Amino acid sequence: MEAHNGLSAKIVEEAGFRGLWASGLTISASLGLRDSNEASWTQVLDVLEFMADSTRLPILVDGDTGYGNFNNVRRLVKKLGQRGIAGVCIEDKLFPKTNSFIGERQPLADVDEFCGRIKAGKDSQPDDDFVLVARVEALISGHGMDEALHRAEAYRAAGADAILIHSKLSSASEILTFAKHWERRCPLVIVPTMYYGTPTEVLLEAGLSNIIWANHNLRASITAMRETSRRIFETQSLTDIEGRVASVKDIFRLVGNAELEAAEKRYLPAR
Ligand code: SPV
Ligand code: MG
C-alpha cells in the first residue's frame, strides 16, 4: 500500500498491510513537485528515512530509473540499506523519468545497460533479504508483448528478484497475457491503477504475486483536504468540520506521544 511520509506509513501499518510502497509519484506530489525527478534522490532518501523510522513494515521504494546509470543505482542501494529499506524497484527508462501515464512512446533504456543497473544494484545490497524489482515499461511505451517478455527475461537473468510489469490499459488483458507467457519464472508485481475493475482474485489466479495500490492514500488526502479547506473558507467556522476530521488526540496517538510521556518519567529529574 502506498505511503508518502511517516504519517501515511503509520496509517498503512494500522490498516493491516504487510508492506509499503514508497511511491515516486506521491512522494513528489506531496512535496508539490512533478514525478519527473524534480526532487533530488537525497531529498527522497530523507522522506524514506522518516517512513522507515515510523513503521516496522518492509518498504519497497520506487527508485524510478535508479537516478542515472549503474553507478547511481549502486550508491542508491547502499544508502537504502543503511536506512533499513527492504527493497527497490527500478524501471527501464532514462533519467529524468516521466510518469508512465503521461505521453505515448517514452524512450526505453538499452536492455544490456539496464541489466548492468540491476547487477550493480544486487552487488551492492546490504544483505540477502534486500529485494530488487525490475520494472518493464515496454507495454506502457507501446513496444508490444514480445519486447516486454524479452526484457523481463533479460532482467530476471541479470539477477532481478521480481518483475514489475506495468500497463496503462483500463482492462487487465495485456497483464494477464504477459502472466500466462511468463509461467511464474519469478514473482510478478503489478500496479492496477488503470485496470482497477479486474477482481483481485482473477489477478492472483493468473500468477501475479504482489499488487501495489500505488497512490490512493495521497489521492484520498487530496480529496479530504480540498473539501475541508473549501468548507472552512466558505463558512469561516469550524463547527461544520470538527466531526469530520481526525481529532488532535488521534494525531498525538499516531505519532506516539504516550511513549514520550513514559520516557519523560524515566529520564527527566523528578519534581
Ligand atoms: C508510482 O507510484 O510512482 C509509480 C506507479 O511508479 S505509476 O504512477 O503507476 O507509474
Ligand atoms: Mg513511480
- Give the ipTM of the model, two decimals please: 0.99
Residue 1 CA to residue 59 CA, distance in Å, equals 10
How remote is the CA of residue 66 from the centroid of ligand 1, in Å? 14
Question: What pLDDT was estimated at residue 142?
Answer: 94
Confidence band, pLDDT 50/70/90 cuts, at residue 103: confident
Q: Which residues of 135-146 are buried (b: 16+ CB within 10 A; e: fewer)?
A: bbbbbbbebeee
Q: Which three cell numbers stand for residue 155?
A: 532482467
- Could you read off the pLDDT of 176-201 as tens digits, one per residue? 999 999 999 999 999 999 999 999 99
* Amino acid of residue 211: I
What are the cell numbers at 246? 481526525
Residue 105 pLDDT exceeds 90: no
pLDDT for res 91: 98
Residue type at 18? Answer: R
Mean pLDDT score of the chain = 97
Residue 269: cis peptide before it, omega within 30 degrees of 0: no
Residue nearest atom 10 of ligand 1, based on CA coordinates: 100
The model's confidence at residue 24, banded by pLDDT at 50, 70 and 90, is: very high
Least confident of 100-109, 207-216, 236-245: 100-109
* Pocket perturbation via mutation, ligand 1, pick of 60, 93, 215, 218 by most ligand atoms within 8 A of CB: 215
Using a 10 angstrom Cβ sphere, with 0-12 exposed, 13-18 middle and 19 or more buried, the burial of residue 35 is: buried
Whole-prediction pTM value?
0.97
pLDDT tens, position by position, 128-171:
999 999 999 999 999 999 999 999 999 999 999 999 999 999 99
Query: pLDDT grade, residue 2 (50/70/90)?
Result: very high
Mean predicted confidence (pLDDT) in 28-47:
98
Q: Which atom of ligand 1 is nearest to the CA of 193?
A: 9
Rg (alpha carbons) of the chain, rounded to whole number: 20
Q: Where are the alpha helices (DSSP H) in the chain?
A: 6-15, 24-30, 41-54, 70-82, 111-123, 144-157, 173-182, 200-205, 216-235, 248-254, 257-267
pLDDT at 36 over 90: yes
Whole-number percent of the chain with pLDDT over 70:
100
Which residues make Cβ contacts (< 8 Å) with residue 239, sequence separation at least 6? none
CA of residue 98 relative to chain centroid, distance: 15
> How far is 258 from 264, CA to CA, in rounded Å?
10
Catalytic residue among 35, 64, 92, 161: 35
CA–CA separation, 177 vs 170, rounded Å?
A: 14
Q: How many helices and strands, by DSSP H and E, does the chain display?
A: 11, 8
Q: How far is the CA of 21 from the centre of ligand 1 (A)?
A: 10
Helix, strand, coil percentages in the chain from 3-state DSSP, rounded to 5: 45, 10, 40
* Cα-to-centroid distance, 129 and ligand 2 (Å): 23
